[in-house]
Every structure is written in structure tokens, then in C-alpha cells.
Amino acid sequence: MSALILTGAGISVADVASVAREARKMEVAPEVIERLDKARKVLDGAAASGQQIYGLNTGLGANLGTAVEGDASTFQRQLLDGRGAAVGETLPVEAVRATMFARVAMLAAGGSGLSPHVFTALVEALNAGVHPVMPSLGSIGAGDLVLMTALARMLIGEGEADYQGRRMPAAKALMMARLAPISLAPKDGLSLINASAVSAGGGALAVTDALAVFAQQQQAGALTMEGIGANRTILDARLHMARPAFCQQQAAKGLRELLDRDEVTAPSTLQDPLSIRCMPSIHGALIHAIDQARLAIEIEVNAAADNPLVLGDDDLVLSTGNFHTASLSLAFETLGLAIAQTAAASAARFIQLTGSGRNGLPKYLSPVGGASAGFVPLQKTATSIVAAIRHKANPVMLDFLPVSEGVEDHATQTPLAVSKCAGMILLWRRLVALELMAAAQAIDLRDGFVPAPRTAAIHAAIRALVPTLNEDRPLGTDAEALYTALGSGTWPE
């Protein structure tokens, strides 16, 4: 894989995922260092003029009115020590890498005033695979600074790091990677931590996963239509042009392509249940929500969201609220609701397939009948998964308390909105696995039926892992195997 060239713009969600999950290396374009150097000189000049600069010569939060006495560089160490307040389970390495890269991308825009040698050290640590051990709890979405403190402390050789799969003191990890701890100039500590990089990095991974599961959901929906003998006229392009709701035409087109075949088969019914008939509308809304979340992430990782912000071209240092991620939080709350709606429809189709028998399918999709349970016990599993998804779909962005003596009286809870959305995606993939299993069984029970080429390929991929149900057996094991395959990155498109 070729190195990713950092220019200070144009970073995509896919770029974040490639660095986080595939250890893609980075190279820094010369103009980035020039931009950082220019901003640093503007910052130093403003400080020398006596300008009050938040976090450089003033305290933070409620200490805003307190002047920093003595060595401003020493204050940066104090700032980090005083904000090492994160707790809880540590973030997985891929989330930490996504966080590190998100901060690198933001800093490359040049608005922080960060010393160029600190930026270079962060890039080198990420390229070398030295990752801070980052607890997961402590951010309320007004910047992720309490969580980000672990990153800054690692770069100065304090705290703990993960290197080559081993947890060790950060100083030892840097030494083993042939890197050296850095020194901090005024404001460097704040520049490293006062950003929403945990939210943006984790959000990029969530969007990447949502896109993958959506493609699999389209496959499951198409396979259900095959298995149940659904009326495919609902996918007619003219119907969706008549009411062009967000991305509805795109969803219908994707389903038509999955179901495309030479011969025309007669539908079993005039109108199918709404979870089938309204699939393009439901899936279209989800496509739109994913795209809005992607856009919000890509704005964030390509932006100068620092406070204070250095405007290098204007020789100014100004306080901002750019660290506040209300739009990012809202995008992921919306995405969560769209996922919940799609997952509920998937579960409904699963219950239609595995119920008392529809469109000529046998009861519970059991070929033996009688007292056979067939697929019906999995209805409870699907229902429990939907309940878990619905619970996570409850919004959190309004759940905050005023802190820091009321100076910080609003928050966005973006990290929580992103992490619960990521959890929903994993649960949703489990429902997709159940729908694929049931749809494949339904196809097997339709005597003489030959699915379309693309749905036949999906059916074959399922059958490579899960055999047809001929008599009752523990289906949970099969569902787990299929879920794992869907998340492996090797599932056929």
C-alpha cells in the first residue's frame, strides 16, 4: 500500500480506516511543515506582544482569568498532568490509531500553532506503531482533551504505550522504536489535546463499518425477496422518481441490480408486508444518514478546530468554539436512528420468513414439519438484538451538566454518540446474518427455484459456512459463524 501524503486537506474516512486498520504509513508534504512553522511564529509573536492567549499564558476553563507565572513551557507539563483524568476500559489499538491520525490530519491544517517538531514526532510515533494506552471515559464532547492527554503524555515519555502488542512504559516504547521523547514549547500541550480526535477517529471507523454492513443488508433484503417470492415491481425506477426521497432511488437501484436476471418471474403476491415493500425507502434514508455522518467526519479531520486558533495569513490568534462538535454528534445520533429503523425492518422480514408459513413456504422454514422448531427460536434472538439496538438509539447529546464553575455549560456528548452508534452497527450485523440464513433456507425450500446470478452467489457464500437445515440443530452456532464472516472483510460484494 502506498504511503498517504499529508497536505492539510483532502483526508477521507477511508484514509482514516486504512491508517487505523491496515497500518498505512504517512509522509508529510513540505508545505505542511512550512504552514506549521508560519503559524508558530505568529503565535510566538502574539505572545511576545503581551496578548492574552488561552492555554499559553492563561489558565484553562474556570482558571481563564489566572495568568501563568514563570516558565510557560513548564505550564504545558502541568496542564497535561492536571488533565490526566480519563478512566475506564482502554480503547482498542485501531481506535487509538484512528485518533492519532485524526489529530495529525487536523494539525496539518496549520491552525494550532503547534511546534513543527511535535507534529513530526506524532507522525513518527504513528508510523512506528507506538500507541498510547488511552482510557475511554472522560470526554463530554467539548473537545476530547481529557482522553487526549494520554497521547500528549506518551510523546513526552510518560504514561503507558502499546508497542508490538505489548503494554509498557511510554519511554521504553519510544526507545524500542528508536524514537525520543519530545519537549513542549508554550501551547504545545494544549494543541495536542484540545481537539475532538477521539470522536472523529472513532466516527470514521463507524462510518466505514456502516457502509460495509449496509451493502450486506442490501444483499439480505434481496435474498429475502427471492426466498419469499416478493413482488419486485416495488423496485421499478419510475415509482421512486415519483417520490424521490433521500437516496431512495439509489437503494432501489442497488436491489434491482442484485435481483437482475434474464427471465421474468411472476410475483407470489400483489403487495408484500411493509418491511419488504418499503425497503427502498428505509434503506434510502440510511444511505443519506451514512453520507451525512461521513461528511461531518471529513469536515472535522480536515479542519483547524483549535482554541485558540492561529490565523497564519492574517497574523492573528483568536479564541474560538471550533472544538465544539454539535453537528458531528447530531449526525451520529441520526445515523443511529436510521440504523435502528433498518435493523427493525430486517428483523421483521426474518419473522415473516420464519413464521407460520407465507407464500408457500413451510412453517418455521422446517422441511420436516410436525414438532420441529426450525428457525422459530431465532425469533427470540432477533427480538433481543432489536431491543438492544433500540436502547442504544436513545439520544445522549442533550445529557450534560454545567462543569468548570459554569464556564463550560454546554456539551455535545459526541464520543458517546459515536461509540453507541458503533455498538449498534455490530448488533445490526448480527440481524443481517440471521436474515441471510433464513432467506437462504427459504430459497432451498422453493422447489426448482433458481435465484438471480448475484443472489445465487450470496446464497453460495452462506452455504459455504452454514448448511441447509434438514432437521433441528443449534442454529446459534451457525449465526455466529456467519456474523464472523460478514465482519471479516472478505465477504463477497
Q: Is the pLDDT of residue 362 over 90?
A: yes
Report the 10 Å Cβ neighbour count for 315. 12
Block residue for cell numbers 417470492 = 229
- % the chain with pLDDT above 70: 97
Highest mean pLDDT among 159-168, 305-314, 408-417: 159-168
Burial of 242 (0-12, 13-18, 19+ CB in 10 A): exposed
pLDDT at 72: 64
pLDDT band at residue 140 using 50, 70 and 90 as cut-offs: confident
Q: Which amino acid is at 252?
A: A
Look up the CATH number of domain 202-486: 1.20.200.10
Chain mean pLDDT for the chain:
93
Ranges of CATH 1.20.200.10 domains, the chain: 202-486
End-to-end distance of the chain based on CA atoms, in angstroms?
21
Q: Which residue has the higher pLDDT, 52 or 153?
A: 153
pLDDT band at residue 64 using 50, 70 and 90 as cut-offs: low
pLDDT band at residue 62 using 50, 70 and 90 as cut-offs: low
pLDDT at 141: 85
Mean pLDDT check: name the lowest of 98-102, 232-236, 319-323, 451-455. Answer: 319-323
The residues that bridge with 4 in the sheet, in sequence order, are 26
The model's pTM: 0.95
- Identify whether the C-beta of residue 88 lies closer than 8 Å to the C-beta of residue 136: yes
Strands 309-311 and 316-318, bridge-based pairing: antiparallel
Q: Give Dmax over CA atoms of the chain in angstroms.
A: 88
Per-residue pLDDT averaged across 308-318, rounded? 91
Per-residue pLDDT averaged across 276-289, rounded? 97
Block residue for cell numbers 451493502 = 215
Q: Is the pLDDT of residue 65 over 70?
A: no
Q: C-alpha grid cell for residue 444?
A: 432451498
- Rounded Cα distance, 400 and 313, in Å: 37
pLDDT tens for 4-56 read 999 999 999 999 999 999 999 999 999 999 999 999 999 989 888 988 887 77
- Rounded Cα distance, 273 and 230, in Å: 9
CATH of 4-195, one of 1.10.275.10, 1.10.1040.10, 3.40.50.12280, 3.40.50.2300: 1.10.275.10
Ranges of CATH 1.10.275.10 domains, the chain: 4-195
Kind plus residue range of the DSSP H or E element containing 160: strand 160-163
Q: Which residue has the higher pLDDT, 80 or 345?
A: 345
Q: Which amino acid is at 197?
A: A
pLDDT at 59: 66
Q: Which amino acid is at 325?
A: T
DSSP conformation letters of 36-59 = HHHHHHHHHHHHHTT---TTTTB-
pLDDT tens for 429-458 read 999 999 999 999 999 999 889 999 999 999
